[in-house]
Amino acid sequence: MITSDDIFETNRMITENKLDVRTITMGISLRDCAHPNVDKFCQNVYDKITKSAEFLVKTGEDIEADFGIPIVHKRISVTPIAIAADACKTDTFVPVAEALDKAGKAVGVNFIGGFSALVEKGMTHGDKVLIDSIPQAMATTDIVCSSVNVGSTKAGINMDCVRQMGEVVKRTAELTRDQEALGCAKIVTFCNAPGDNPFMAGAFHGVAEGDRVINVGVSGPGVVKHALEEMKGADFTEVAEAIKRTAFKITRVGQLVAREASKRLGVPFGIIDLSLAPTAEVGDSVARILEEMGLEGCGAPGTTAALALLNDAVKKGGLMATSHVGGLSGAFIPVSEDEGMINAINQGSLCIEKLEAMTCVCSVGLDMIAIEGDTSAATISGIIADEAAIGMINNKTTAVRVIPVPGKKVGDTVEFGGLLGYCPIVPVRNTFSSDAFIARGGRIPAPVRSLTN
């Protein structure tokens, strides 16, 4: 039974601690849109999306008004275009990206994800066309997001594609240099990418999903930090219990929104993503939670252990609140989107190497990190390879979203705006070259732990 105290507490979490539902994401299958003529395919895609998501934004706004729960974004994810458009007789999928952009704007969503390819073991013609199209597609669209899965625990790492993704990121940076390389903020390179992730830029509608589905991503790092502020001197068992209780309450809010959106739209409910997603606003930071545990600055020795505790406790608390958990679920550590991470970079307590260590226990990987514009494609590929290896060996999702900003050097700051925030240029220790390593190509074999049958 919901008591008045529960209502007051939830209201306080929203008004004082920045609790929100970060996104309602509708997944839409485009497999029935297939056609060899790319123009006809684009029309099919536009029609399917605009019909399926016609009332998505209004429904989200109505739920906000009815329940007083902020829903920051309404988004769409679609079948990876490399799969859906594989039959098209074309050498570019840029028109498809433009059709996605047009459809997303027509229904009023903030982002549309799924300009994607799943190539951990090899590439079809459609995969190759899509990856070649990413730079131009990101430059000519506003709300389309792209992702490429280059590795998995079962298949190993496709190093040919890892090499190519470093080049894709560099080309995208050049094509969007007048926007501070903003196109790169819409590209994620994954290992073990989930097909039910509601968060951008990595969302796509997985091949095992139905025709349509509603997935919801919750947030609330400010709520967790507030809970820990009242626990000065408590031991880590007590800290973990407090985070679990808080995560339960946060997830129940997301469960309410998900069920309501599913009912009103007549679309099956998929999953709740339990991730703590920060923003660049003061008081809405994962880094500040870690510091509340006793670290003088995020990145100090003990940071990875603190993040491991946080990630695990969030999952345990959330699992008690909903039967359908998926996506990424844990704690995000995007530099530009987290005020505490930005501060840690500026004060020198956090560096990209420490961030890489933290990705072993967080819910994703190296995320929204601005680096010097003259960083080589091979160095970016090396960063991607390292992250993919962490994901492959540890059977977890890892990802890289780095932004080499043309003309920018360490000491400069880049402003992206909105939820993407701003970021100081983070140093990359690339005195020594990765070129010969990346040039080898081929596939890094799957680990022994992949043999689970």
Residue 205: other Cβ atoms inside 10 A = 32
How far apart are alpha carbons 227 and 260 in whole angstroms?
28
Q: Is residue 167 part of a domain?
A: yes
Going by pLDDT thresholds of 50, 70 and 90, the confidence category of residue 1 is very low
The values of phi and psi at residue 64, to 5°, are -55, -50
What pLDDT is stored for residue 16 in this prediction?
57
Q: What's the CATH code of the domain at 66?
A: 3.20.70.20
pLDDT 10s digits, 326-368: 888 888 889 999 999 999 999 999 999 999 999 999 888 999 9
pLDDT 10s digits, 145-158: 999 999 999 999 99
Give the rounded percent of residues in the chain with a pLDDT score beyond 70.
Answer: 96
Q: Is residue 111 part of a domain?
A: yes
What pLDDT is stored for residue 22 in this prediction?
87
Going by pLDDT thresholds of 50, 70 and 90, the confidence category of residue 6 is low
Q: How far is CA 299 from the centre of its chain?
A: 21
- SS3 string of the chain? CCCHHHHHHHHHHHHHHCCCEEEEEEEECCHHHCCCCHHHHHHHHHHHHHHHCCCHHHHHHHHHHHHCCCEEEEEEEECCHHHHCCCCCCCCCHHHHHHHHHHHHHHCCCEEEEEEEECCCCCCHHHHHHHHHHHHHHHHCCCEEEEEEEEECCCEEEHHHHHHHHHHHHHHHHHCHHHCCHHHHHEEEEECCCCCCCCCCCCCCCCCCCCEEEEEEECCHHHHHHHHHCCCCCCHHHHHHHHHHHHHHHHHHHHHHHHHHHHHHCCCEEEEECCECCCCCCCCCHHHHHHHCCCCCCCCCCHHHHHHHHHHHHHHHHHCCCCCECCCCCECCECCCCHHHHHHHHHCCCCHHHHHHHCCCCCCCEEEEEEECCCCHHHHHHHHHHHHHHHHHHCCCEEEEEEEECCCCECEEEECCHHHCEEECCCCCCCCCCHHHHHCCCEECCCHHHCCC
pLDDT value at 40 more than 90: yes
pLDDT 10s digits, 190-203: 999 999 999 999 99
What is the pLDDT averaged over residues 152-166? 97
Number of domains composing the chain: 1
What pLDDT is stored for residue 8 in this prediction?
55
pLDDT value at 85 more than 50: yes
Q: Is residue 326 part of a domain?
A: no
pLDDT 10s digits, 232-272: 889 999 999 999 999 888 888 888 899 999 999 999 999 99
pLDDT value at 7 more than 60: no
Q: Is residue 99 part of a domain?
A: yes
What pLDDT is stored for residue 13 in this prediction?
62
Q: Is residue 385 part of a domain?
A: no
What is the pLDDT averaged over residues 427-431? 83
How far apart are alpha carbons 249 and 299 in whole angstroms?
28
Full-prediction pTM beyond 0.85?
Answer: yes
**Domain carrying residue 87:** 22-191
pLDDT value at 120 more than 80: yes
117, two tokens: 């390819």
Average per-residue pLDDT in the chain? 92
